[in-house]
Amino acid sequence: MLLSVIKKCYRNDHLTEQDFETILSKHQVIPNEKGDFLLQQSQFLNCYYILLEGTVHGFVNDSNGNQITINLYTDPEVVIDVNALFQRKKTVENWQCLTNCTLLHISFDDFQELFHNIYGFREWGRTWMANALFELKERSIEMLTLSATERYEKLLEQKPYIFQTVPLKYIASYLGITDTSLSRIRKDLK
């Protein structure tokens, strides 16, 4: 099972079966309970995760101390703060398990070893980073150009299962709307 997740997450035509085995050997299975923090603001990040099972709430605190949801990670998805990890600086993000979670953990040093020793892993990293930048740009534009209802419908289409595990206040925050607006949209669409 773990090897199939590794193959799915690190999918790249340049990776061989042996490469996938080597990549898997650098990951450790880490269980976490609902409510556990994987990362808190002002910490240094020395790893990233692949979420095998569960849901993780990614958020920042605004200047008034309010939580603003920036991501809702679901399985199997890479859970990473690119800025903190690769620029080696303190994070502004928080990651909290909304359910019991099982994750694959890989250290920064192990990532670097794989990156420098496996051509296909480097290619995967470049492709992943390009896709992540594209998704961030697309999300930024959609927050400005799509209506709240359109953003809700898109989230419902992309990640329908989060509505079973994520409190509506986090979903509303992720969509950039109030809880009341989200309730109204859900009622209007029924």
| pLDDT of the residue at 85 | 93
Closest CA to 50 of 25, 33, 29: 29
161's tokens? 């299962």
Residue 73: strand pairing partners: 56
> Looking at residues 152-172, what average pLDDT do you find?
94
Report the C-alpha gap between 134 and 54 in whole angstroms.
25
Report whether pLDDT(152) > 90.
yes
Report whether pLDDT(1) > 90.
no
Report whether pLDDT(109) > 90.
yes
Q: What percent of the chain has pLDDT over 70?
A: 100
Report the C-alpha gap between 128 and 2 in whole angstroms.
20
Closest CA to 186 of 68, 175, 56, 145: 175
| pLDDT of the residue at 76 | 87
Residue 53: strand pairing partners: 102
Report whether pLDDT(190) > 90.
no
| pLDDT of the residue at 75 | 85
User: H or E element: which one contains 61?
Assistant: strand 55-61
> Looking at residues 25-50, what average pLDDT do you find?
96
Mean pLDDT for the chain overall: 95
95, 58 in Cβ contact below 8 A? yes
Mention every residue, 6+ apart, whose C-beta is less than 8 A from residue 122. 115, 116
Count Cα neighbours of 189 within 13 Å in the Cβ-side half-sphere.
13
Q: What percent of the chain has pLDDT over 90?
A: 97
